[in-house]
Structure 1
Amino acid sequence: MDERVSEHAEVLVDWSARVEAGDDVVLAVAEGSHDLAVAVAEELGDRGANVVTVYDSDEVDRAYKLAHDGDFDADPGHELALYRNADVVLRLGRGRNTAAEADVPGETEQAYRRRRQEIREARMDTDWVSTVHPSRSLAQQAGMSYEAYRDFVYDAVLRDWESLAEEMAQMKERLDAGSEVRIESGDDEITMRVDGRTAVNSAASVAYDSHNLPSGEVFTAPYATEGSLTFDVPMTIQSRRVRNARLVFEDGEVVDYSAETGEDALRDVLETDEGARRLGELGIGMNRGIDRVTDNILFDEKMGDTVHLAVGRAYDACLPDGEQGNDSAVHVDLISDVSEDSRLLVDGEVVQRNGTFRWEDGFESS
């Protein structure tokens, strides 16, 4: 076995999830992640954690959703109890076919998500972390050889997270102190309020309110969004390819949308519920170890030279205690390349120009 698999498992258990003796852990294992699951189980056993392993398969989910009449029970108790009693949830994705659920009707997917909100909330109340094991299906989706893709994944995962956290803290400080963020990119301009919010320094650890490995972004929960933005980084949404999506906002809500391809997938997301037409997240990619688009949101949204907006649910970590942010059964990220003809401003100050941050070499002040 590649020794980097064991290193990946150690980072996941120690740095990311901070697992301790006696923790009750749910380990969700996708079809292509067996080797990583074995390494993670060894790490969990070494720390004296209690583990329940579940099979996390897109193909199994597809079969169930297509066979069901669509009138799903709300939050089945046996599954809800599993996550309500868990301390940690580790999800090791993805499967053998990245488009396994492409033929699940949009209305079926919407109904399934709407009826599982308490389960989703219970899972997100744990110290949950998602990661991926490099698989041939993901390499194919990224347009890379399997060998090159493995190197890419481990370059993004096995890095000095403490140093990156220190760098990203500069972006967090500006967002925390700011009131308005403006993104100018090509012919688009979009503004949003961030005052009263707390930005998350997403350094791949629950200690930073961060739940992805790899990570490398700073994100917050914006509101009062106005304007438009084009999302020119292609991605797969609900197993369907989406290219050059564009959203137009008025009074904080999507009032118009389009996409060069995959507009039906975008429509299905926006029609899930009322909250799906409002923003739940503004994210700024800062992981320079991710240097190419791979059609995998776990990596692409963290890439330097990008920003992303997510329609749907806002994360509680960004909100004041007791305040309810945007609520939705979905949280879907859309990514924009800001490496050229782009500026990111906080309260009128240019923080990033053409992908380069103010504190990086090569930043042009004007």
Structure 2
Amino acid sequence: MDRRVHDHAEVLVDWSARVEAGDDVVVSVAEGAHGLAVAVAEKLGERGANPLVTYDSDEVSRAYLAAHDGEFSTGEHELAMVENADVYLRLGGGRNTSALADVPGEARQAHSRATAPLREARMETDWVSTVHPTRSLAQQAGMAYEEYREFVYDAVLRDWESLAGEMAEMKEVLDAGSEVRIERERTDLAMSIENRTAVNSAASVRYDSHNLPSGEVFTAPHATEGEVLFDVPITVNGKRLRDVSLTFENGEVVDFSAEANEDELETVLDTDEGARRLGELGIGMNRGIDRFTDNVLFDEKMGDTVHLALGRAYDACLPEGEAGNQSAVHVDLITDMSDGVMEVDGEVVQRNGVFRWEDGFEG
């Protein structure tokens, strides 16, 4: 086995999830992530944790959703499992990135709403999501398999403590700010971040960060006004969205379009009331990610990007006792800032993808 698989498992268990002896750990393993699961199991054994391994397959999910009558239940047995877990690890990496493409949107919406308590329960654990490089993901990224493995491990096996220090400056700017404005081609968007707390997402639950790789600073915007173009293609529920345009008034999407799979965008927006509002503003800062791969786990962390998520807001960004945007979905859409400007309270923080504290910034 590639030594880097073991290194990946070590970062996941030790740095990201901070697993301790006696922790009850649910490990959700995708079809193609067997090798990483073996390495993770070894690390959990060394730590004296208690793993429970589940199988996660988009093809299995497709068969279930396509055959069901649409009256879904929460699944109390699965809820009990998650509620009794200390840590939840999701190891992604399937065989077909479009396995769910032909499942009717109504079925996916109904299932998403019914299983919302499961997602809430997972978020109460020390949960971390990562991905094992597979041939299907390499194909989706337009890369040779060997090339894709190099890309993944360059993004995952970082000096995360050092990167956390670099990203702290962006967190300070957002925590002190009241309004963020983004301007570029077909984009002029303003959103309030007043009374919000930004998360320095350095791939560890210690930082309220739950993705590996990570490398972003995110917060929960509100009172969004204007229009935005998302020109980075992204696959949602097996369908590739391209050149998504959204118009906001009073914080809500009032108009939308997409050059490809507009019907899937509409399905997302119609999931529930919260799906037409933003739950996240994320600023990519991982310079180890140097190309788009049609995988949001990587693409949204790229240093020249900003992403906005339709749907659920994260509690870590909100004042204690305040409920942010609620939704059964959290769908990230990405815009390339290599030709744009981001301002916080009227001051330029990033121009053409370069932050003001980086070499090459032009004020």
Same fold (TM over 0.5): yes
Q: Give the structure 1 partner of residue 329 of structure 2.
A: 330
For 1:94 and 1:321, the matched residues in 2 are separated by 36
Could you say what secondary structure the match of 1:54 adopts? strand
Q: Give the structure 1 partner of residue 33 of structure 2.
A: 33
How many residue pairs end up in the alignment? 363
For 2:75 and 2:360, the matched residues in 1 are separated by 54
Shift of 1:159: 0.8
Task: Letter of the 1:274 partner, please give it.
Answer: E
Residue 360 of structure 1 pairs with residue 340 of structure 2: no
For 2:233 and 2:224, the matched residues in 1 are separated by 23
For 2:234 and 2:10, the matched residues in 1 are separated by 29
Report if the CA contact (8 A) 2:309-2:330 is conserved: yes
Task: Letter of the 1:42 partner, please give it.
Answer: E
Shift of 1:117: 1.0
Q: Give the structure 2 partner of residue 65 of structure 1.
A: 65
For 2:33 and 2:158, the matched residues in 1 are separated by 21
Q: Give the structure 1 partner of residue 7 of structure 2.
A: 7
Task: Letter of the 1:110 partner, please give it.
Answer: Q
What is the CA deviation profile of residues 206-265 of structure 1, one whole-angstrom value per residue up to 9, with x for unaligned ones? 000000000000000000000010000001011101100000000000000000001011
Q: Give the structure 1 partner of residue 275 of structure 2.
A: 276
Shift of 1:8: 0.2
What is the CA deviation profile of residues 145-197 of structure 1, one whole-angstrom value per residue up to 9, with x for unaligned ones? 00000000000000100111001000000000000000001232000000100
Task: Letter of the 2:345 partner, please give it.
Answer: D
Task: Letter of the 1:250 partner, please give it.
Answer: E
Q: Give the structure 2 partner of residue 251 of structure 1.
A: 250
Residue 48 of structure 1 pairs with residue 48 of structure 2: yes
Aligned match of 2:343 in 329, 342, 345?
A: 345
Task: Letter of the 1:37 partner, please give it.
Answer: A
Runs of 4+ in 1 over 6 A off after TM superposition: none
Shift of 1:76: 1.4
The 5 Å alignment of 1:50-199 reads 50-73=50-73, 75-199=74-198
For 1:240 and 1:25, the matched residues in 2 are separated by 32
Could you say what secondary structure the match of 1:140 adopts? helix
For 1:228 and 1:248, the matched residues in 2 are separated by 4
Give identity over the alignment, percent: 74
Q: Give the structure 1 partner of residue 225 of structure 2.
A: 226
Report if the CA contact (8 A) 2:186-2:229 is conserved: no
Relative to the length of structure 2, the TM-score reads 1.00
Relative to the length of structure 1, the TM-score reads 0.99
For 2:233 and 2:251, the matched residues in 1 are separated by 24
For 2:213 and 2:128, the matched residues in 1 are separated by 10
Could you say what secondary structure the match of 1:360 adopts? coil
For 1:265 and 1:206, the matched residues in 2 are separated by 32
For 1:188 and 1:45, the matched residues in 2 are separated by 50
What is the CA deviation profile of residues 269-321 of structure 1, one whole-angstrom value per residue up to 9, with x for unaligned ones? 00000000000000000000000000000000000100000000000000011
For 2:86 and 2:56, the matched residues in 1 are separated by 19
For 2:312 and 2:18, the matched residues in 1 are separated by 25
For 1:217 and 1:121, the matched residues in 2 are separated by 22
Shift of 1:136: 0.3
Stretches of structure 1 that go unaligned for 5 or more consecutive residues are none
For 1:6 and 1:228, the matched residues in 2 are separated by 44
For 1:188 and 1:235, the matched residues in 2 are separated by 18
For 2:262 and 2:334, the matched residues in 1 are separated by 15
Q: Give the structure 1 partner of residue 312 of structure 2.
A: 313
Could you say what secondary structure the match of 2:94 adopts? coil
Could you say what secondary structure the match of 1:163 adopts? helix
Report if the CA contact (8 A) 2:186-2:227 is conserved: no
What is the CA deviation profile of residues 28-47 of structure 1, one whole-angstrom value per residue up to 9, with x for unaligned ones? 00000000000000000000
For 1:43 and 1:352, the matched residues in 2 are separated by 40
Task: Letter of the 1:252 partner, please give it.
Answer: G
Could you say what secondary structure the match of 2:211 adopts? coil
For 2:250 and 2:244, the matched residues in 1 are separated by 20
For 2:328 and 2:262, the matched residues in 1 are separated by 19
Stretches of structure 2 that go unaligned for 5 or more consecutive residues are none
Shift of 1:53: 0.2
The 5 Å alignment of 1:14-29 reads 14-29=14-29
Q: Give the structure 2 partner of residue 287 of structure 1.
A: 286
Shift of 1:3: 0.2
